[in-house]
Amino acid sequence: MSSLYYFQRGERTIAARLAYDPSDLVAAWASLRSKMTRRLHPDFTRDEWAYLIAFLDEKSLLAPVYSTFGEFAKTQSIPHEVYVPRGSIAVWLPNNVSLLGPLVAILLSLTGQPARYKLGSRAANLVGAFLNFAAIETENTQLREYIDERTECLFLDRGDDRIDKLVEGAAVRMVFGSDEAAGSVHAKSKSPTSVGFSFVDKHSEAWIDYNHMNDASLSELIKIFAIYGRAGCTSPKRIVLLNSSRAEAEEFRGRLLDMWPSIIADDVDPHHASDNVMACQWALANGWNASLVARNKAVIALGNMQLEPAESHLCMNIVSCSLDEALEYLPTNTQTVGYCCSPSSHGEWLSRLSTTKIHRFVPVGKMHHFNHVWDGQDFWAGCFQSIEVA
């Protein structure tokens, strides 16, 4: 049974028909944090679990609600606009998907709308694992009811007939995956009033002003890279070092090599250690100046934009270049540019980047931060449609 909730955005009153009180849902999510700090879930890495704990901050969770509807209203008056849910949401998550699944599930829960998560048969089901954990830990809450009654994980391979039914029944389609996967989902027979969001192949990179970097920013860069290597859509696939000479770039590379083992204490999996040996040889063969981090934890390679990079999971490719060159070689599918620079460089870089198609320009340490606006699309607001009230 849904109710109207009232919000205030400036002078305008907004009403939203919601199945659950978003404040209650957010409080239930936030209540998990203390439990999570005591115990690491076996399906998650320590970094992933820590990220989830940070993500469940009450204020951050309310951001999509405030952004879409406004602040909670103290009194009810005739609204200028009423938001109503579009209906059932279907989310496609690829096999190797990481935290995106649980993060999307958390945000979508705040819409109160039924959500079905389509995973590949080889996928590690982090969505299901996290929703199960949350359900167990939030007994007798609206969140528990939402998870039990309105969420479902489906393991379907390409070609499964049930995918057609999933598309037909969805008012909102959200596809994380390749261009091809998204195109295929949205091309299926669907309701003409449904909406679709595609979060497809993306490139991200970090831009570092050599004159502005210090041990703290290097440490941040190492941590951000080590989480997913080059595998995440927000992972810095290339480190663009600006305002440095060749010798300074070499020094930058050397500092990363020296610092890495103290920042990332754990060994990587043996096959990643082996893969790094390969990547180092690959990079060197291609003309990069590459070295292995101690205990084969990663490869740090320095080169230029013209050299073919070693496309390997934990190979950090650093390119020393001018701002003009950085812009010239910025791929058209760039999602995030993480920055570490002075305020004056920030202004100049942003001004130049605003002529490109990037979606995010954030500090390096926030490159992996996920929110309700992704790839420039406010998918959370898109789960509602509005009724204009005159």
- The window from 14-22, 252-260, 271-279, 318-326 that contacts other proteins (CB under 8 A) reads 271-279
Q: Which of 46, 270, 306, 354 binds other proteins (CB under 8 A)?
A: 270
Q: Which of 11, 139, 161, 269 binds other proteins (CB under 8 A)?
A: 269
Does residue number 234 form part of the binding site for other proteins (CB under 8 A)? yes
Separation of CA 295 from chain center: 29
Interatomic CA distance for residues 116 and 265, integer angstroms: 38
9 contacts 23 by C-beta, under 8 angstroms: no
Interatomic CA distance for residues 227 and 46, integer angstroms: 10
Does residue number 176 form part of the binding site for other proteins (CB under 8 A)? yes
AA identity, residue 41: H
- Beta-bridge mates of residue 338: 206, 362
Residue 326 region, left (φ>0) first, then alpha (ψ -120 to 50), else beta? Answer: alpha
Does residue number 373 form part of the binding site for other proteins (CB under 8 A)? no
Q: Which of 102, 229, 303, 309 binds other proteins (CB under 8 A)?
A: 229
Does residue number 313 form part of the binding site for other proteins (CB under 8 A)? yes
Say how many CA atoms lie within 13 Å of 95 toward its Cβ.
Answer: 6
Site string for other proteins, 114-153 (x = CB under 8 A): ----------x-----------------------------
Say how many CA atoms lie within 13 Å of 114 toward its Cβ.
Answer: 12
- The window from 183-191, 214-222, 241-249, 282-290 that contacts other proteins (CB under 8 A) reads 282-290
184's CB contacts (< 8 A; 6+ apart) are none
- The window from 16-24, 29-37, 244-252, 272-280 that contacts other proteins (CB under 8 A) reads 272-280
Instruction: Give least dist CB 389 to other proteins, A.
Output: 40
Does residue number 337 form part of the binding site for other proteins (CB under 8 A)? no
Does residue number 296 form part of the binding site for other proteins (CB under 8 A)? yes
Q: Which is nearer to other proteins, 27 or 263 (CB)?
A: 263
292 contacts 276 by C-beta, under 8 angstroms: yes
| Burial class of residue 303, CB neighbours in 10 A (0-12, 13-18, 19+) | buried
Instruction: Give least dist CB 100 to other proteins, A.
Output: 6
Q: Which of 15, 97, 213, 218 binds other proteins (CB under 8 A)?
A: 97
Instruction: Give least dist CB 279 to other proteins, A.
Output: 8
User: Of 178, 239, 215, 204, nearest to 369 (Cα)?
Assistant: 204
Does residue number 40 form part of the binding site for other proteins (CB under 8 A)? no
Handedness of CA 307, 312, 313, 314 (dihedral sign): negative
Q: Which of 40, 136, 216, 278 binds other proteins (CB under 8 A)?
A: 278
Does residue number 371 form part of the binding site for other proteins (CB under 8 A)? no
Interatomic CA distance for residues 173 and 170, integer angstroms: 6
Does residue number 284 form part of the binding site for other proteins (CB under 8 A)? yes
Does residue number 369 form part of the binding site for other proteins (CB under 8 A)? no
User: Of 27, 55, 61, 24, nearest to 130 (Cα)?
Assistant: 55
Q: Which of 26, 127, 166, 280 binds other proteins (CB under 8 A)?
A: 280
AA identity, residue 125: N
Neighbours of 307 (CB within 10 A): 15
β-strands 289-292, 299-303 pairing? antiparallel
- The window from 34-42, 53-61, 97-105, 298-306 that contacts other proteins (CB under 8 A) reads 97-105
Does residue number 98 form part of the binding site for other proteins (CB under 8 A)? yes
Binding site for other proteins (CB under 8 A): 94, 96-98, 100, 124, 176-178, 181, 199-203, 228-235, 267, 269-275, 277-278, 280-282, 284-287, 295-296, 310, 313
